[in-house]
Amino acid sequence: MAAGQRFTPQIPDPDSDGAPAMDGWGFADSGFAITDDGNVTMTGSRYPLSGQVLPHLIPWISGILGIEVDPFDRNEPHYPPRVPEPVINRKFVKALGEVIPESRQSLDDEVRLRRGHGHTQEDVWAIRYGSIARVPDLVVWPESDDEVEVIVQLAGRHGVTIIPYGGGSNVSEALRCDPNEKRMIVSVDLGRMNRILWVDPDNNTACIQAGAYGRHIHSALKAHGFTMGHEPDSVEFSTLGGWIATNASGMKKNRYGNIEDIVRDVTAITVDGKIERYSVGPRESIGLDPRNLLFGSEGNIAIITSAIVSIFPVPDVRAFDSVLLHSFEDGVAMTNELMKQGNIPASVRLVDNMQFQFSQALKPATRGAIAKLKSRLQKFMVTKLYGYRPDQMCVLTLVYEGSKKDVAEQQKRVRKLAKKYRGLAAGAENGKRGYTMTFAIAYIRDFVMKHWVIAESFETSVPWSQVVELCNRVKKRVVDEHAARNLPGHPYVTCRVTQLYPTGVCVYFYLAFHYKGVEHPSDVFSEIERAARDEILKCGGSLSHHHGVGKIREGFVDRIHSPAGLSAVQKVVSALDPDKVFGAGNHAVRSSRG
C-alpha cells in the first residue's frame, strides 16, 4: 500500500460473532454451570477455560466464605422482570418516523429493558430478582451523524429526553433512568454506527465511529498490521464512545496510554449541533477546547459519534511472564521500582494472596499420573524449598510488547528485580493464563449470584506511598461492616494492582459474601461497598480510576470537588443543555436539574 493512502477496514455487524446475554454479562453461549456430579464447568468454546471441569472452585468458595455452598441449591432468577409501559410522545414519534424507519426503532420490552441498565451487581440483581422502575420508552438506531443530529433536534422540539447507548457494559448505573422522569425517554443506540471510516497509515491515525466494539476494532486493525492498544477488561463488549464518555483505561496502558492519550479528536452532537474540527494536529494549544468536555461526560451533554485515534504498528514481539512473590508488600515495592526504572512492560498486574488462591481454584483437574506428580513436586518446591507461605504469596503477571530489543531489556530488568525481592520466576504460561483469564472470570459474578453469593468489583487510584495502607484498611473496613450486620460466614475481599504511574497505581477490589437468609442482599451489598468507598477516600484514594461516577458514586462527588468546582460543572451542563434534553443525569448533574 502506498504511503499516505487511506483505506477502510471492514468491521463485522455488532452481533455477528455471537449474541450477547440479556440477563447478565457476556455472550449468551458462554458462562459457568454445574455439572451432573456437582463440579463447575464453563460452557461455550470462546475462552481457555471453556469446556474445562473445575473441581476445586466450589470447595474453595465454601472454605473462604465459611459457608457450605451446595452446588445444587440455586436461587432461581425470574428474568425478565415486568417492564413499565412506555410513555409515548406521539408528535415526536411521528416526526421521528419521517427520518428513521420503523425497522430501526423498537418498543419491545426486553430491548427497552436492556438499554435501561448496565452491569453492576445492583443492575443484574434487579433484572433477575427485582425490577427496574423506569426504562427507555423507545430504542432507536441511527446510522449517521445527520440522523443523530435530527434525533437530538426533534427531542428538544417535542420535549423528549435522550440517553446514548454504546455497549451497555458500564458498572456505574450510568444507564439507569430517573424514575421520576415524566417525559418520553429515548435510547439512542449507536450499534449501527460501528465502522472504521478510514485508516491513515502514514500519520498513524484512524477515524472510528463511536458504536464500534473493542473486539471488532482490534481484529479489524490487526488484519492490516495495526493496533489501537486500548484493551480494558470489558474490551469485548465496550465501545469507543463509551471509552471516551467514561475516560477509560486499558490493561496495556503502560505502552499505549489511557484513552485520553490515544484519542486525537472527537465528533459529537449537542443540542446546538455538531462539535467537529476541520483539522487535527499532533498537539495543539487552541484555548478552551470543547473536545475536552467529552472525556468523562457520561452522556450528560452530547452523543459522541466518532473519534480520530492514534494507532500503532502491531509489535514485533508479544511475550508473557509471571513472578511469584512472598508478599503483597514485596510486590508493591518491586512494581514501584520497576516503574521508576522506565521502559516498563505493556501490562503489569499484581494480585494479592486471596486473588492468587482464586486463580488456583480455577485450575482444571490434573489428569494423568505424571502430571499429578509434577503438580505435587512444584507445590513442594515452592512451599518447602523456597519458603513461600500459601496464605501470603502473591503473583505478578506481565505482558511485554515491542521490539525484540525492548522486550529483552524489559525481561532482563524484571528478572533482576525479581531476584532483589526474592521472587521466583513462574513462567510465561502462568503469565498468559493470568492475563487471558480476565475475560472468562467476568462471568463468575453472575454464576455465583445464582448460588447465594453476591459479588462485585470496584476500583480507585492511589499514590505509591499509600497503596499498602489503603488496601489493608479497605479490607478491614469490609470485614468490620460484614460483622456489624451479622451476615453469614466471612466476606471475600481481595485486590490487585492493575495500572502503574510515576505517582501511583490503580487498585481493583473484589467483594463477595453469602446472602442466603439475608433480607435485601443487593441493598446490603451496596451499603458495604459505599463504606469501602468511604474508606478509600479517607486513605487518599480517588473516587474512580476508570469506571466513572454514574449514579452509584454520585453521593461522594462533593468530597472530591470544592463547591465552586461542582458549581462549575453544573453550570457548564446547564449552559450546554438548558432544556435538559440529555437525560442520563450522571455524576451528580441531576442536582442541578431540580
Q: How many residues make up the chain in this entry?
A: 594
- The three-state secondary structure class of 266 is strand
Compute the half-sphere exposure of residue 68: CA atoms within 13 Å on the CB side of its CA.
2
- The three-state secondary structure class of 14 is coil
Q: How far apart are CA 272 and CA 576, in angstroms?
A: 8
Cβ count near 230 (within 10 Å): 27
Catalytic residue at 508?
yes
Cα angle vertex 215, ends 232, 238, to 5°?
50
Q: In which residue are the cell numbers 406521539 written?
A: 90
User: Identity (one letter) of the amino acid at 4?
Assistant: G
Q: How far apart are CA 453 and CA 515, in angstroms?
A: 6
Q: How far apart are CA 496 and CA 505, in angstroms?
A: 10
Cα angle vertex 169, ends 31, 265, to 5°?
140
**Gyration radius of the chain's alpha carbons:** 24
Question: Which segments of 201-262 are extended strands (E)?
Answer: 205-209, 226-227
Question: Which residue in the list 400, 443, 508, 510 is annotated as catalytic?
Answer: 508
Q: How far apart are CA 51 and CA 49, in angstroms?
A: 6
Q: How far apart are CA 397 and CA 498, in angstroms?
A: 10
User: Identity (one letter) of the amino acid at 572?
Assistant: V
Contact (Cβ atoms closer than 8 angstroms) between residue 353 and residue 392: yes
Q: Which of 22, 19, 28, 164 is nearest to 81 (CA)?
A: 22
Q: How far apart are CA 581 and CA 43, in angstroms?
A: 43
Angle, helices 328-341/404-420, rounded to nearest 10 degrees: 140
Contact (Cβ atoms closer than 8 angstroms) between residue 464 and residue 336: yes
**Left if phi > 0, otherwise alpha if psi is -120 to 50, otherwise beta: which for 31?**
left
Contact (Cβ atoms closer than 8 angstroms) between residue 471 and residue 511: no
Active site residues: 508
